[in-house]
Chain A
Amino acid sequence: GQNIDQPTEMTATEGAIVQINCTYQTSGFNGLFWYQQHAGEAPTFLSYNVLDGLEEKGRFSSFLSRSKGYSYLLLKELQMKDSASYLCAVRQDSNYQLIWGAGTKLIIKP
């Protein structure tokens, strides 16, 4: 079966670092995406990994290990505006469609 797991909710402090994990079991793999979704708004693209390793983009980094079926999103220097849900999605190699995790709600406290 197809399965993507993320923690339901995490809490972190403003200025700190937080790591959001995503594990997946899919019948095929053609890349992993992270999206950010603020309450009541559209999901917006954050990062894409298709090869193993770390992709850094400003305060956000995303890591992938295909052999372990594992990814994480690392957020540094947390700001209050980072309070949102973070969605992990795997693109299938059969039909190129995305399979989504349920999202991790990140709460930032002062």
Chain B
Amino acid sequence: ETGVTQTPRHLVMGMTNKKSLKCEQHLGHNAMYWYKQSAKKPLELMFVYNFKEQTENNSVPSRFSPECPNSSHLFLHLHTLQPEDSALYLCASSQDPIGGLETQYFGPGTRLLVL
């Protein structure tokens, strides 16, 4: 496996379900990100982890709970979601968010539908 992988690619869940999204990066990067992408809207940054420590939480509702056990893996735990949470959830990684050129590498995303 190379780059950034995400599973599952598609997910349908009810509002009372609990599910988790998984992201894994094989690039040796130190920072990982969760983004939400809704149709015709800008990418919304949700969480940032740098060296396994959460450095950004952009006022995301508590029904989204991130977990970063190590620099290569990132999870997004979902609980009691709302239909408006239906979107494409993208994971990204980067080498060093502070220094120099900062290119983020994205996974293919998880297409989430909340019924």
A residues bordering B, Cβ < 8 Å?
4, 8, 31, 33, 40-45, 48, 87, 89, 91, 95-103
Contact = CB atoms under 8 A, between A and B. Distances in A.
Contacts, number: 46
A90 B78 CA distance: 29
Contact of A42 (B41, B42, B90, B101): B90
A45 B55 CA distance: 23
Contact of B106 (A40, A43, A95): A43
B55 to A, nearest CB: 8
A44 B43 CA distance: 14
A96 B42 contact: no
Contact of B43 (A8, A45, A100): A100
A97 B40 contact: no
For chain B, what secondary structure do more than half of its interface residues adopt (helix, strand, loop), or is it mixed? loop
Interface in B30-62: 40-43, 45, 48, 55-56
Contact of A95 (B56, B90, B101, B107): B56
Nearest to B48: A97
Contacts of B41: 102
A91 B98 CA distance: 11
Contacts of B108: 40-42
